[in-house]
Amino acid sequence: MDIKGVVKAHGTTLTKVAEKMNITKGRLSQIINEKPTVDNLRTIAEIVGCKVGDFFADEISEDNESCVVTKCPHCGKEIRVKLE
C-alpha cells in the first residue's frame, strides 16, 4: 500500500491531509503505518481526490498482471482482486 506516494502524486502533502482530517501529521502517520481502516482510507482518498484502490496500485501481482494482491487489515489474509 502506497498512501504517501499517492498523496504526493496528487500534489498535496500529509500535513495538508492531516489538517483537513483535524488530526496531527504524527497521528496520520500512525494511521498509515499501522493498519488503516476502510473509513480512514476513504477519508484520505476523498481529501486527495483519488480512489481507495489507487493506494493498492503498486501491489499488482507478478504472476497475473490483472490482479491486485493485498492483505486484509483485520485478519492478515491475502486478498486478490481481479481487475477488469
- Specify the CATH number for the domain of residue 12: 1.10.260
55 vs 15, residue with greater confidence: 15
Stretch 3-16: mean pLDDT:
91
- Work out how many domains the chain is built from and give that number: 1
72-82 residues labelled b (16+ CB within 10 A) or e (exposed): eeeeeeeeeee
Tens-place pLDDT, residues 30-76: 999 888 899 999 999 999 999 888 887 655 445 545 666 677 767 77
Note down the domain range covering 29.
3-82
